[in-house]
Amino acid sequence: MSGRNSQQVEEVVVVQPRTTHRLLQVLAGTAKRKKLLSLKGMDVRPMMEVVKGAAFGILQAAGGCPTSLRPGRWLDLYSGTGSVGIEAISRGCSAAHFVEMDPWVVSNVLQPNLEHTGFVDASVIHTARVENFLERADKLVGKDGAFDYISVTPPYMEVDYEVLMDQVAKSPAIGENTFIVVEYPSRTTMLDSCGCLEKMTDRRFGRTHLAIYGPKWAQKPRKS
């Protein structure tokens, strides 16, 4: 047996503190140009402003009002900073539900953003995994039923889009008049329908893609 003392070296993992900055802003509506908190680094990746602007432009045109959204309720899945749901309230939605699983993000980013924009009373926060929320959506949203709008902006590498969109399609959160906004990465296939809804548009912004599903009455007539 060797007389050399064996030493165990413990690996020390240094956890950097999470910090925020104000780089995002509300693009239009009653809270236009108000700055929003977001996490420094890539812990939470908010929707790019050019993509967000395009999505709301399409929804407003589909609803027949280029300057604002048709009134309704918005469901912001994987909400993170809350920038999408906040934009929706700013542009005319009566209320938004935010689903975010990280309690730190809820307390230090999402809640302060709602307070800063003055939208606390129009908001409901669900600190939960999106999968669990969708399974229990009928109980969590109560008598109000299906949402008018749903945004799906998950962390690209952490979800299986086929499984996720199938769950969205089967959820009581969507109805025949719902619009769904999906942000997804390249080399991902999005179906032409989501439940009873049909794909209205599918656009590319660099490595980011934007698909929007909507009711039949909102579809543009196809050119012959």
For the CA atoms of the chain, what is the radius of gyration?
20
Q: Is residue 66 part of a domain?
A: yes
Q: Is residue 72 part of a domain?
A: yes
Q: Is residue 147 part of a domain?
A: yes
Residue burial 200-218, b: 16+ Cβ < 10 Å; e: rest: beeeeeeebbbbbbbbeeb
Give, in degrees to the nearest 5, the angle at Cα 207 between 222 and 34. 90
Q: Which pLDDT does position 203 carry in this prediction?
A: 96
Q: Is residue 223 part of a domain?
A: no
Q: Is residue 8 part of a domain?
A: no
Domain count, the chain: 1
Q: Is residue 180 part of a domain?
A: yes
CATH number, residue 169 = 3.40.50.150
Q: Which pLDDT does position 157 carry in this prediction?
A: 83
Q: Which pLDDT does position 7 carry in this prediction?
A: 53
- Residues 152-178, mean pLDDT to the nearest whole number: 93
Q: Give this prediction's pTM.
A: 0.88
Tokens of 88: 């929706």
**How many Å apart are CA 222 and CA 25, to the nearest integer?**
36
The residue range of the domain holding 119 is 20-218
Closest CA to 55 of 30, 80, 76, 81: 76
Asked if residue 140 has pLDDT above 80, the reply is no
Q: Is residue 64 part of a domain?
A: yes
Between 78 and 8, where is the model more confident? 78
Q: Which pLDDT does position 46 carry in this prediction?
A: 76
pLDDT in tens, 65-107: 888 999 999 999 999 999 999 999 999 999 999 999 999 999 9
Asked if residue 149 has pLDDT above 50, the reply is yes
Asked if residue 21 has pLDDT above 70, the reply is yes
**How many Å apart are CA 64 and CA 54, to the nearest integer?**
16
